Amino acid sequence: EAGVAQSPRYKIIEKRQSVAFWCNPISGHATLYWYQQILGQGPKLLIQFQNNGVVDDSQLPKDRFSAERLKGVDSTLKIQPAKLEDSAVYLCASSPGWGAGNTIYFGEGSWLTVV
- Return the residue of 46, 82, 91, 112 that touches other proteins, per CB under 8 A: 91
Q: 14 or 56: whose CB is closer to other proteins?
A: 56
- Return the residue of 24, 48, 75, 94 that touches other proteins, per CB under 8 A: 48
Phi, psi of 28 (to 5 degrees): 90, -5
With contacts defined by CB under 8 A, name the span among 18-26, 39-47, 60-68, 74-82 that binds other proteins. Answer: 39-47
Interface with other proteins, residue 50, by CB under 8 A: yes
Interface with other proteins, residue 100, by CB under 8 A: yes
From the CA atom positions of the chain, what is the Rg in Å? 13
Interface with other proteins, residue 43, by CB under 8 A: yes
Q: How far is CA 111 from CA 52, 86, 89, in A?
A: 25, 10, 4
If we measure between CA atoms, which residue out of 83, 77, 91 comes closest to residue 114? 83
CA distance 107 to 15: 25
Q: Are 46 and 110 a contacting pair, CB within 8 Å?
A: no
With contacts defined by CB under 8 A, name the span among 18-26, 32-40, 67-75, 79-87 that binds other proteins. Answer: 32-40
Residue ranges that bind other proteins, judged by CB under 8 A: 4, 33, 35, 40-45, 48, 50, 55-56, 91, 97-101, 103-109
